[in-house]
Amino acid sequence: MSDTYTPPKVWTWEQKNGGEFANINRPIAGPTHDKDLPVGKHPLQLYSLATPNGVKVTVLLEELLAAGHTGAEYDAWLIKIGDGDQFGSGFVDVNPNSKIPALMDTTNGQRVFESGSILLYLAEKFGAFLPEGGARTEAMNWLFWQMGSAPYLGGGFGHFYAYAPEKFQYPIDRFSMEAKRQMDVLDRHLAEHEWFAEEYSIADIAIWSWYGQLALGRLYNAAEFLDVASYKHVMRWAEAIDARPAVQRGRMVNRSFGEPEMQLHERHDASDFETKTQDKLGG
């Protein structure tokens, strides 16, 4: 225990820790303001942002459309978490946890929240990207592995390495060790398998959105620090998924940062990729 801090008997919140995203963190749930969510013309209404968890869903939706599932047409609305959109009453009605992504299926009035739950819901709804039998169980193994492991990568490593207001060796060492252990878990599996189940599935989409993008140098500017190039099987797998056109489109949706040509703030029609990216809108 550090000599500079002794935990109190009862912890209370004081918003003084700073750091990126500090203004949207609080120790209570519920809405902060009344705001209805917009609803478009398609069966599926997605409210999201192109973080790794958001990318999972837009990649799957684009893959479903590419595979001919026209019922997967969707409207993707940008949720600006820096502005607190996720604390609006309409969003909280869809996801009481106030995290993106959140999905409404207007065909049956079903709300779906948590990215893994959304992936499973869509895969089962359309009978795609989820194998059967033992391979389904294997896909579920890896999907749940990702859902349980990514908080260490994002909330742990990513926070202390990239976003915390000060750099402290202990948490960076602790979470770097865990991030590399997780990459090794993936690398060992991919040394003997092309995909995480028998075929490309929602397990690959979920894991790629975090660990594949880490391997490709897109998360936290940490590729060199974590020596991601040494995980050769992860790199092979990540590059193969990255080359898929649906994945390239999915990465663009609800993206409000980075290169203007890669930003499609909202997606309401397939043609939006050609006409409404920020470079074409002058943003």
Other beta carbons within 10 angstroms of residue 97's beta carbon come to: 11
Structural domain spans, the chain? 1-128+253-283, 134-245
Interatomic CA distance for residues 274 and 223, integer angstroms = 31
Which has the closest alpha carbon to 203: 131, 256, 260, 261? 131
CATH of 134-245, one of 2.40.50.180, 1.10.600.10, 3.90.550.10, 1.20.1050.10: 1.20.1050.10
Q: Are strands 74-78 and 102-105 parallel, antiparallel or unpaired?
A: unpaired
**Mean pLDDT across the chain, nearest whole number?**
95
**Residue 257 neighbours by CB under 8 Å, 6+ apart:** 50, 263
Round the CA-based radius of gyration of the chain to a whole number and report it.
19
Assigned architecture for domain 1-128+253-283: 3-Layer(aba) Sandwich (3.40)
Tens of pLDDT, residues 113-137: 999 999 999 999 999 999 999 999 9
Q: What is the pLDDT of residue 191?
A: 98
pTM of the model: 0.96
Percentage of the chain exceeding pLDDT 90: 92
Tens of pLDDT, residues 6-24: 899 999 987 666 667 777 8
Q: What is the dihedral of CA 120, 125, 129, 135, to 10 degrees?
A: 70
pLDDT band at 274 (very low <50, low <70, confident <90, very high): very high
32's tokens? 């902060």
**Residue 165 neighbours by CB under 8 Å, 6+ apart:** 17, 18, 19, 22
Tens of pLDDT, residues 171-226: 999 999 999 999 999 999 999 999 999 999 999 999 999 999 999 999 999 999 99
